[in-house]
Structure formats: C-alpha cells, structure tokens
Amino acid sequence: MSAETVRGERADGLRHELYSYSGEEEFLSGALSFIHDALAADEIVLVSVPQDREQILRAEPVGSDPRVLFMDTAVLGRNPARLIPAWERWVVEHAGRGRGVRGIGETGWIGRGAAEIAEIRYHEWLLNLAFTRSPAWWLLCPYDTGTVDPEEMRKISRCHPYVMESGAHRASDAYVDEPFAWDELEKACDPSEEFPYGRGDLAAVRERVTACAVQHGLGGERLRETLVAVTEVAANSITHGGGHGTLRTWVRQGTLVCEFHDDGVIDDPMAGRRRPTPQLPGGRGLWLVHQLCDLVEIRSTPESGTTVRLHVTILPPS
C-alpha cells in the first residue's frame, strides 16, 4: 500500500499500525519493508526503537540514507508520556515540506513493570486521539511477541486501527474505538507513610518526601528535580482538588513512589502530554512533572477523585 493510497483514505491525521513480530529477523524484515516503501515514495522516516534494533537497521544500506532519521529514546521513552510531544514536534517539522512522513516507534518492553506496561498501552491509545487533526503521517509500531505477554498483546492490538502482516497493510479486526480501560493501581508497599496536606503545607510535603528519599539513597540534583515535581502536584491539589490532599510515599524495587490523592477531577486525557506554548499556556505543571519523573500514573474520576503517582528511580552510588 503506497503513501498515496493512505492519503486517499484520510486527508489528515495518523495512520496507526501494529506490526507483531517474533525475533530479530522478523523485525528486520518488516521494518525494512516499511522503510523501502517510504523511500520509494520519497518520504522521510523517523526510527525510534531500542538500541539493539537501531543498530541492526543502521547496519543496513537504508541506515545511511539521509531520508531515514533516528531518534534516541533510551531516556525519553522511559516515561512513555514524553513520546507524543516528541512525535508531534517531528511531524510538524517535516510534514510542511511537501514530503510524506512516516515513523517506526517501538518502546522497549523487557524489564518493564506492570505500571510502565499500563502507561505504554495508554500511550498507544492516546496516539489515536493526539493526532486526529495533525498532518497526515504513518506510524508503524513493532511489538515482539516473544517478549510481550499474550494478554498484553491482545490489549495492545485493541489500540491500533491498522496492522501489517507479511508486508501487507490492512484494517485491524482487533481494534476497538472505546474509552481506555485502566488496570487497578498496584498496592502501596509497606511501610508507607501518609500525610494530609493543605494550604501552607508545601514545605512540609517536601520535607516528608526528602526524608523518605534520603533514607533510601536518593539525593543531589535528582532529589531537587523530584521536589520540584512534588511541589507542582501538591500545589495542583490545593488549587484544583478542593484545597487539600493526601501524600503517601514508599520505595519499591529501587524506585521512590510519591502518591498524591485529592477530590479534584482531571478530565483531559492529554493532560501533561502537550508541550506548553504561548497559545496553550495551561498544563505547564503536569508537563514539567512528566519531564522530571521516570513515570507518572494518573487516575481520575468524578466518583473517586484524582490519584497521581510519581516514580523516580533511585540510582546506585557512582
């Protein structure tokens, strides 16, 4: 299927396509098929994949083609919420130059915990919403069935309107256009400390987080960044969540978790995932939080209020 056919189907927006593969050889075959089709149409391709996959593509002849670009997501993709703004920036930059635009986006799966996997799925679901009115472009999302649990693969499939199989492209029978179904948040580790806060308590919130962080070896610049994120979330609770909230902190498997709960509601699924601009000044706080934390979980309903969990990896001493 050519880019012209895709553009004929839809004048703008994203063609979001799943590629299920097994092992390095199948990855290379599918990715090269996609890239060769793009280059034949004189399109630009941005490749954002784990480092081992990037290396094998760079070793191929297409790896030196100036129309094939590579985006390093080793740090960026750790928090999936940072990926949509990166794709937006790239699409806007290249789509106005009169050439077709494609991407290959694979988020590393190995070593991910349940919270990270849920955020990856949410990222895939949000892509369909985020690019509804964007310039036309085509994103291929490879997933290795040898490393992804079958049930998770089924859930991922429900987020992709199109699939690629054996080099052929078609509408997906598995895709479902419905609200995102969240898994329940993991239970807090014991011991966890709870602290109710309100107006005038931001300094006390920072002190509580600092005590937990330092006890487990988090300090220096990383702690200062964490305290900025903590202050933003607590301030949002006080401003938009009824004037008060509850903080809990704990450490799980080398990660500091700071959980904030309040009575407010966040009704924008893209909250914190749009780069602030002079035209859209709102949301700077959550945007900053996503940039500073390794993972951010948000659950918000009118019935239960809002829970925000900040995850910060505690790096071992150098």
Bridging pattern class, strands 14-21 and 137-144: parallel
Q: What is the per-residue pLDDT for 312?
A: 97
The reply to whether domains 3-171 and 193-313 share a CATH topology is no
CATH 3.40.50.300 fits 3-171, yes or no: yes
Q: Domain 193-313 in CATH: superfamily?
A: Histidine kinase-like ATPase, C-terminal domain (3.30.565.10)
Q: What is the per-residue pLDDT for 72?
A: 77
Quote the CA–CA distance of 263 and 201 in Å, as a whole number. 17
Low-confidence ranges of the chain (pLDDT < 50): 1-10
Give the residue extent of every domain in the chain. 3-171, 193-313
Quote the CA–CA distance of 15 and 103 in Å, as a whole number. 10
Q: What is the per-residue pLDDT for 3?
A: 38
| 298 sits in which H/E element | strand 295-301
Q: What is the per-residue pLDDT for 108?
A: 78
| 15 sits in which H/E element | strand 14-21
Q: What is the per-residue pLDDT for 180?
A: 94
Q: What is the per-residue pLDDT for 10?
A: 47
Quote the CA–CA distance of 143 and 164 in Å, as a whole number. 11
Q: What is the per-residue pLDDT for 1?
A: 38
End-to-end CA distance of the chain: 51
Distance of CA 284 to the CA centre of its chain: 17
For 249-263, the pLDDT digits (tens) are: 999 989 999 999 999
Q: What is the per-residue pLDDT for 281?
A: 60
Put the strands of the sheet holding 193-198 in their side by side order: 193-198, 244-252, 255-262, 305-313, 295-301
The pair phi, psi for residue 130, each rounded to 5°, is -65, -30
